[in-house]
Amino acid sequence: MLLKDLGEESLIEHLARKFNVPHRRIIRAIGDDAAVTVERENTCLLTTTDILIEGIHFSLEYSQPYQLGRKLLSISLSDIAAMGGEPLFFLVSIALPRECSVEFLEELYEGIGDCASEFGVYLIGGNTSASDGKVILGSTLLGEAGKDEVITRGGAHPGDIVYVTGTLGDAALGLKVLKGSKGSAAGRDILKGPCREAVKRHLDPMPRVKAGRALAEKRLATSMIDISDGLVREIKRLASVSGVGAVIESHKLPISETLKERVSKDPGEMNLALAGGEDYELLFTSPPEKTQFIIELARELDLPITPVGKIFPKQRGVEVVDEKGTPVKPTKDGFEHFE
């Protein structure tokens, strides 16, 4: 069945049946002019919104609708994680071509629904519309954090250590592999190949919600940002808002075994970890005296948390150096939307 045969009204009813589960803080979800929810006392409301456009942010040649649905929510979850917040409620905007199949939409919602269950967040509204050929998706996620828990980009101090969670560059490697395989028979074997984890990181990234929340609750981070547009770009953003400088040591960057192997053959591949987009790992700063707590947290979460540099006074600027202290210049410092 095609969407044009189903109609918008039936679609919304279908979604309301699937997603309208009772929650004591949701007074009104799908099916009214706006969602109605109740906040907890003494918390801040965190709000983030993202948009995914076919041909710009994803390709249906690589992405299944299920993965797309997951990713739509995951990138917003990553933003709330980067504030140290607890994600709660979300809305989605979905614009699909009239000739789109109902199955496509169902798989999309299956992905959204599974991701929502995993992170304990609830769909409370949104909108649907036709598009003129491209799939366009939007998400808005609400979260909250105690008033003294919120971790902004603005609190890094000289002397703080710079940390990143997980590994860097895999998502960019995954995208590179997907692009390289385009149209070839090898493409279908990618998910069995050595880069399958990297491909998965690109198609279905894992937002670090638990880590972000734990850093906030334990008051371990002075500033935090998620790495969506590449490490170098993000440390520059964080340093700019905090009014500090920073030195990143490229040889300390945590990279996967797969990327390590590629770097051993071509050192230029290290650029994927420095400037490749869509890692959705957390980049944060913490004073040296908290080192032991960070080590313990990494163990608790079963997630690598790696010191990769240090915060300096503003005059120092932001630079990346190799193990000899020689400045390294990434060929492109992250993902620039309008370049």
Instruction: CB nearer to its own copies: give 213 or 262.
Output: 213
Q: Give the total of residues touching its own copies (CB under 8 A).
A: 73
Q: How far is the CB of 251 from its own copies (least distance, A)?
A: 27
Instruction: CB nearer to its own copies: give 34 or 185.
Output: 34
CA distance linking residue 15 with residue 135, whole number of Å: 18
| HEC-encoded secondary structure of 117-164 | HHHCCEEEEEEEEEECCCCEEEEEEEEEEECCCCCCCCCCCCCCEEEE
Structure tokens at 283: 């980049």
| By the rule CB under 8 A, 147 interacts with its own copies | yes
CA distance linking residue 170 with residue 273, whole number of Å: 7
| By the rule CB under 8 A, 124 interacts with its own copies | yes
What is residue 30's three-state secondary structure?
Answer: coil
* Residue among 59, 117, 129, 184 that touches its own copies (CB under 8 A): 129
| By the rule CB under 8 A, 48 interacts with its own copies | yes
* Residue among 65, 69, 72, 85 that touches its own copies (CB under 8 A): 85
* Residue among 68, 72, 95, 235 that touches its own copies (CB under 8 A): 95
* Residue among 21, 55, 191, 251 that touches its own copies (CB under 8 A): 55
| CA angle at 211 for the pair 330 and 122, rounded to the nearest 5° | 110
**Torsion angle, alpha carbons of 156, 160, 161, 167, to 10:** -10
* Residue among 14, 23, 47, 193 that touches its own copies (CB under 8 A): 47
Select from 1-9, 243-251, 271-279, 303-311 the region that touches its own copies (CB under 8 A): 1-9
**Torsion angle, alpha carbons of 220, 221, 225, 227, to 10:** -60
Q: How far is the CB of 241 from its own copies (least distance, A)?
A: 6
Instruction: CB nearer to its own copies: give 53 or 214.
Output: 53
* Residue among 11, 301, 303, 321 that touches its own copies (CB under 8 A): 11
Structure tokens at 19: 């997603």
| By the rule CB under 8 A, 71 interacts with its own copies | no
CA-based Rg of the chain, rounded to a whole angstrom? 21
